[in-house]
A and B are shown apart, each in its own frame.
Chain A
Amino acid sequence: MSAIQPRSFSPHSFIYWLVLGIVLFAVLYPAGVIILSSFETPGERLVSGIGLQAWKTAFADPAIISAIWNTLTITLARQAIALPIAILLSWVLARTDVPGATALEFLFWLGYFLPPLPVTMGWILLLDPDYGLLNLWLTHLPFVDRAAFNIYSFWGIVWAHLTTSTIAVEVMLLTPAFRNMDATLEEASLVSGAGVIRTIRKIVVPLMTPIVGVVLLLGIVHSLQAFELELILGFPFRFYVFSTQIHWLLNQQPPQFAAATALGSTILFLMVPLIALQRRGVARRSFATVGGRYKGQKQSLGKWRWLIFVILLGVALLITVIPLLFLTVASFMARFGYFDVPKPWTALHWSRVIDDSVFLDSLKNTLVLAGATALVSVMLFTLIAYIVIRTNFVGRAALDMVSWLPSTLPGIILGLGLLSVFLGTPFLRSLYGSMFLLIIATVISSMTLGVQVIKGALSQLAVELEEAAKVAGGSGWNSFRDIVLPIIAPSMLLVGTLSFIAAARNVSTVALISTSRTRPLSLLQLDFLVESRYESAAVIGIIVVILTTGVALIARLLGLRTGMER
């Protein structure tokens, strides 16, 4: 792939260096602090020396071996199931004439917005081996004499993950990329007699390698850090994963921060070679699918059109409508899951949340935090992705690698690192406790996903388009504004939406940096969770979903105008 050459010491190169400097400072500094702190020896005054004690503590627990094994197997199972399904669904949504594709795609977005905990409670209600409603119903069948499903099992955890976020987010990430694929390639394959599945396998997937690779890597990172569901569903049968071990260390008294950062750093060290491998894999050839002869025409599904629509709707219902129903029901039940009590329904949880003295301030803070995070993320991540994909800037590989690091660190560990940076940097220290630092923290937390999504879109765009614009006399900015921006706009809007929800839901990082004046809704939700008031927490979950859906709808309307329906 040829790249646009920046002139030396041009304003462009100044911007590139500035971006590199900011990203290195914002990511490498906390990451470095985290790695160093894993070598600190706890003492009376928190740190008394340097050594390997924390690493020994972290890996001394015999449960760590099974936790690593469990993490690997559950990650493999999740991705082995989710990725092929997501590829197929995304291809159908983006590349075929399936009815209601736009609405169906939005259902997957909605599925991702739902908070996982109440949804998991819903699955427990259906699939608990002793009192699960679905299990009880099934025992009425003549050939079923005991619980058919057990949510407290390996496959129960996999199921909960697939239906809460894994498939939904992968469809969200892949669909815009599939939309940018040139239809002539598929047409050629189909005309030459290859079926749909073979076309997807031989044409679509290889062309989509960069974005599929990124989605897979993000999925792996996500799996390595997931712990909420494992804690609820895995603990009862003593199923521990890597992240529950980190959680365990942080819940010791006193908390074993150094050992937890040692485990957290391990994820970082494990991911770096994978990220390098992925970079190397995609750097060798061009994956541009949007060029001068781009044809966005959709494939006709013919007589299968409605059947495929029904299947797609079924999947969307399973991962969106049913969980949404759980969430809504939870918010209106006196206690979720108890239908046979005298007064099962109430609006008390809604009034408890809305009447809470900090609700309005928290709502305002969430809107400011998530809105600003979305805006900054879109601008900064587009710039980073552009530098990485479209320039020959010497620091572009470093920029790309570094942008991966935030996602490899568990939220609370990243929060600890950022806390050190904010307190250890004089010009930031004066801003300690302000909303500004919260925004920086949530932008950094969203960096990997945001940069990779826009990178994926840019790598699909042939450089010849911008070169043609320049030959025609357009400036670099003009070609970016008139050629690049309209094509990558759907991805940018997706990034804005994802950053918005990530910031609105962030607890682990935000809890360490916020103050009573900047506390967002996610911390109010944490208050309810600590009190075991899951129904009130579900109300906040719904409010966040409504806010994010509003943002997503605006994003999609803008996206549709800028070419989503190409």
Chain B
Amino acid sequence: MYESSSRRIVPFVLILLIGAARAECQEWKTKWEKVVTDAKKEGKVAVAGPPGTAYREVMRGFEKKYPEITLEFQSFTPANFTARFSKERQAGQYLWDIYVTGPTGFDISAKKSGDLDPIRPLFILPEVLDEKAWFGGFDKAFLDSEKKYIFAFQAQITPQVLINREFVSEKDLNSIKGLLDPKWKGKIAINDPRVDGAGNGRIALWAGQMGEEFVRALLKQDLTLTRDDRQLADWLARGKFPIAIGVNDTDIAELQKLGVGAKVEPLGGKLAEAWRLSTGWGAARFVNKAPHVNAATVYVNWLLSKEGQTAWATTVSRPSRRIDVPRVAGMSPDPGIDYFDIDREERVPLRDKAQEISKSVLR
């Protein structure tokens, strides 16, 4: 009796589930088609993005896929965008739809002031919402505490310290803690940690993982400062400073392609304090009172799709947080390691603290 009724229920449940799935499928498809139609009517999407030719080139893919929607993409440094955005808002001009850049102080202030709308509701395509498609899961890609405003689609591991083994042997220095040895005084260069950037991120990570005492002691090692990535890479490759903190690894990779700095390598092996997870310039936000909501929806869904992220990873040579797109050698995170992500909103106090310490020590 029980068996016969279950035989009847199972197909019924299956039919219900398939029906629900089809309905859901039908639902997103209907929604997507309507958004695309409305986006084409809007005719354009205004995106502010990071400076650099490669970022601009990535966006060409969107124009090819949706030729009816004009992409007005403009590059900004964070300071320039913040200035322009605030002045425009003061004048009642709402000109931007999406802002793509790294995590900056803008995020906190814009979120508080209501200048950002949640980006999460814009995600429609199942491949974008797919939990398994993202490194660490979909939710982990949000940098803000509410998990709805700032979506980090780039996840790159970068070494905290690079060392030129032509000048410093492994026997002499093989750990981050070893940097405190007085013999390295005057031998270390760093990307200025007193301002937001690569140097500050690294100091913040150590402040969180190894404590303030370590950071203070390190900063007292007679560090040489620069704000020029290229200069830092050149110094390291030539051995002017054989140890460098906050070097842009792309710069080093380019030098190594030429045969320079062949013995430059990360310091500290696979230890947690030797690597950081970085968003780079790859995080998207939806600007409040956006003039082209539908086009913005189409744009972010394209950007976060497999196609968009493949374009990002291959053109910019920075790894996507999506795990179904080509990896970038030496930069894509290893799924087995729990990296310290300094870019999350809850870590902002740590970054501020790192700046404060750096300012007080590096006068």
Task: Give A contacts to B, CB under 8 Å.
Answer: 44-47, 62-63, 128, 130-131, 231-232, 235-236, 238, 248, 250-255, 257, 334-335, 337-338, 341-343, 352, 356-358, 412, 415-416, 419-420, 423-424, 429, 432, 511-512, 514-517, 519, 523-524, 526-528, 530-534
Q: Which residue of B lies closest to A337 (CB)?
A: B234
Contact B196 A251 (CB under 8 A): yes
9 contacts between A and B (CB under 8 A): A128-B240, A236-B189, A248-B194, A255-B79, A257-B86, A334-B258, A512-B84, A531-B51, A532-B250
- Give A253 to B354 CA distance when docked, in angstroms: 13
In the complex, chain B residues whose CB is within 8 Å of the CB of A235:
192, 225-228
In the complex, chain B residues whose CB is within 8 Å of the CB of A47:
90
In the complex, chain A residues whose CB is within 8 Å of the CB of B225:
235-236, 238
Additional A-B contacts beyond A254-B108, A341-B258 (12; CB < 8 A): A236-B231, A253-B104, A253-B105, A253-B195, A257-B86, A335-B255, A335-B260, A341-B259, A416-B87, A432-B93, A517-B72, A526-B75
- Give A289 to B105 CA distance when docked, in angstroms: 58
Given contacts A419-B83, A512-B83, contact A527 B240 (CB under 8 A): no
Within 8 A of A (CB), among B195-224: 195-197, 224
- Give A67 to B352 CA distance when docked, in angstroms: 24
- Give A381 to B53 CA distance when docked, in angstroms: 37
Contact B230 A251 (CB under 8 A): no
Contact of A419 among B73, B84, B228 (CB under 8 A): B84
Task: Give B contacts to A, CB under 8 Å.
Answer: 51-54, 56-57, 60, 72-80, 82-84, 86-91, 93, 104-106, 108-109, 112-113, 189, 192, 194-197, 224-231, 233-234, 238, 240, 248, 250-251, 254-255, 258-260, 362-363
Q: Which residue of A lies closest to B112 (CB)?
A: A44
Contact B113 A45 (CB under 8 A): yes
Given contacts A251-B196, A357-B60, contact A527 B363 (CB under 8 A): no
Residue with the greatest number of chain B CB neighbours at <10 A, chosen from A128, A231, A416, A516 = A516
In the complex, chain A residues whose CB is within 8 Å of the CB of B72:
515-517
Task: Tell me the minimal C-beta distance from A150 to chain B in angstroms.
Answer: 12
In the complex, chain B residues whose CB is within 8 Å of the CB of A45:
113
Q: Which residue of B lies closest to A46 (CB)?
A: B86
In the complex, chain B residues whose CB is within 8 Å of the CB of A231:
227-228
- Give A358 to B53 CA distance when docked, in angstroms: 9
In the complex, chain A residues whose CB is within 8 Å of the CB of B189:
236
Contact of B91 among A62, A128, A412, A429 (CB under 8 A): A429
Given contacts A232-B231, A236-B224, A416-B83, contact A511 B76 (CB under 8 A): yes
- Give A334 to B311 CA distance when docked, in angstroms: 26
In the complex, chain B residues whose CB is within 8 Å of the CB of A531:
51-54
- Give A423 to B86 CA distance when docked, in angstroms: 11
Contact B73 A516 (CB under 8 A): yes
In the complex, chain B residues whose CB is within 8 Å of the CB of A46:
86, 89-90, 109, 113
Contact A515 B74 (CB under 8 A): yes
Given contacts A253-B104, A423-B90, contact A130 B230 (CB under 8 A): no
In the complex, chain A residues whose CB is within 8 Å of the CB of B60:
357
In the complex, chain B residues whose CB is within 8 Å of the CB of A528:
53
Task: Tell me the minimal C-beta distance from B248 to chain A in angstroms.
Answer: 7
Q: Which 3 A-B pairs have the closest CB atoms?
A: A253-B105, A423-B91, A254-B105
Residue with the greatest number of chain A CB neighbours at <10 A, chosen from B84, B104, B255 = B84
Task: Tell me the minimal C-beta distance from B190 to chain A in angstroms.
Answer: 11
- Give A252 to B76 CA distance when docked, in angstroms: 16
In the complex, chain A residues whose CB is within 8 Å of the CB of B194:
248
Contact B87 A534 (CB under 8 A): no
- Give A255 to B81 CA distance when docked, in angstroms: 10
Q: Which residue of B lies closest to A429 (CB)?
A: B91
Given contacts A432-B93, A512-B84, contact A44 B227 (CB under 8 A): no
